[in-house]
Structure 1
């Protein structure tokens, strides 16, 4: 019976490539199904064998903990350099940020308009 190891929906390409390399380096016999464009099928990495699934799951858990630590360190470094947050993004792309803020304000106004007009 196939074992689903990992969902590939919303997985960055670099992470999927690293997992493929990990499986190939450890000779895990896996296969991959791509996620659908419309979000109906999740896609992912699969194996057929129970023992292979346990081994692959252990490799994935170790990889995920290492990746999480790397990503947290990278985020902390970006934060120390001031490369995170609203104002950083506003300075980088002011038109996009203003368009998003105006869109949120318009949606909020349209959503609250019936309640405001009742009073």
Structure 2
């Protein structure tokens, strides 16, 4: 999808999502590492996406959207990443990275697909 688009916004979004995928892969691998006593073994899934295009500043951040800080003590939130390419960072209550989006009115030919509170299926 990245290579299929010339749109800077689409590319920026995909680059960010790929970085978050890196964190999620490492998150699961860190959790599995905590369960090593059960004999589980795994390695990171290889990626063909060029690292220089990934938004690496987000690739190893654990974003805590929950109340409390218990998750900050997990293997996934601090120390060397499982893939050996970064350091985990714990981020409490992450804030939006951009402005609130503005929306346009629904095109008349798409109005039947619009969601609203009075619509039932």
**Greater Rg, structure 1 or structure 2?**
1
Greater helix share, structure number: 1
TM-score of the two chains, using structure 1 as the length reference: 0.29
TM-score of the two chains, using structure 2 as the length reference: 0.29
